[in-house]
Chains A and B, each alone.
Chain A
């Protein structure tokens, strides 16, 4: 006969010494993007015990999403359901205690101080401009930002812990600017957003989203000492994973230059605005 411990959905999680389930249950998580990564991250969040999740996405489900999105159905694709709504419902379906809120809209239209209401932000985005936007808003709000990205069998996870260390934008260069510029083009009648069709499949999505939520568990459990401090690269074709250092870029707009303020008795640091 199963005992009481066999009835507790989190019994096995409680056996992980450093995991602070109390904090996991009550932490407020913002997930930006409800595509492939958003589906898998949503699944991992729900099963890990996160109960207060806000999901933001402007997009609707289409048939080509279905090879890598757990919560999307053919009916959703036929109906053109809002991705954020479907993922929020999916999270609540996996975790009866979860309250997932869907925000259907553009990331750029969120109020500036929106990010301040969260303990952690998970970036499940599919383009550089949105990634730059989420990264900078989270950084300036002082909220940890965990960014995931993938293409084909390549994946990447970056953890940003403001006010210290590099952010996602620190790792970008001129090729990122060119790609971002290419996404927007002027047709003469307005600005068009070009959405490339990038290679994607579920196994890499699963690896990247699992790493993102694992880092999220460390952050909300107060164990940032164990968290990634740089970028995790994953090459599923060769089955190689490694952590690569991304140094803070003093020219990155998210890091105002710091100067030493020298007074008679002490030395403190401050920012130049």
Chain B
């Protein structure tokens, strides 16, 4: 199976900054979250990635989620405290 490489943008919800990533369709959402969090030196914590009004499942591949080239995904912190 041929997996195409494509580019998409991930936006940091806390700062508004964006980073462009080159990814394959078999990259997972978990991998995108961790790469983006590392790139921005984010604190150890829980984050989710969303496309529009929908949270993307961590274990899903980008191919499964229907993410397309040039899409902008948003990395948002998932609060834990109470």
> Using Cβ atoms and an 8 Å threshold, which residues of chain B touch A174?
30, 33-34, 58-59
Q: How far is the CA of A231 from the CA of B78 in the complex (A)?
A: 11
- Select which of B55, B77, B79 is within 8 A of A245 by beta carbon: B55
B50 at the interface (CB under 8 A from A): yes
Interface size on A, residues (CB 8 A): 44
> Using Cβ atoms and an 8 Å threshold, which residues of chain B touch A251?
59
Interface size on B, residues (CB 8 A): 25
Contact call A126/B57, Cβ cutoff below 8 A: no
* CB interface residues, A 100-129, toward B, < 8 Å: 123-128
Q: How far is the CB of B73 from chain A (nearest CB, A)?
A: 13
Q: How far is the CB of B2 from chain A (nearest CB, A)?
A: 26
Contact call B55/A126, Cβ cutoff below 8 A: no
A241 at the interface (CB under 8 A from B): no
Q: How far is the CB of B49 from chain A (nearest CB, A)?
A: 8
> Using Cβ atoms and an 8 Å threshold, which residues of chain B touch A37?
82
B10 at the interface (CB under 8 A from A): no
B80 at the interface (CB under 8 A from A): yes
Q: How far is the CA of A30 from the CA of B78 in the complex (A)?
A: 24
Closest to A178 in B: B44
Contact call B44/A156, Cβ cutoff below 8 A: no
Indicate whether A182 sits within 8 Å of B78 (C-beta atoms), given known contacts A174-B34, A246-B55: no
Residues of B near any A CB (own CB < 8 A): 13, 29-30, 33-34, 37, 44-48, 50, 53-55, 57-59, 76-82
Top 7 A-B pairs ranked by shortest CB distance? A173-B58, A151-B79, A126-B82, A198-B81, A174-B30, A149-B79, A37-B82
Known contacts A149-B81, A245-B53, A249-B57; 17 further A-B pairs (Cβ under 8 A): A33-B82, A35-B82, A37-B82, A126-B81, A131-B80, A151-B77, A151-B81, A156-B79, A171-B55, A173-B48, A174-B30, A175-B33, A175-B34, A175-B46, A176-B46, A179-B80, A244-B53
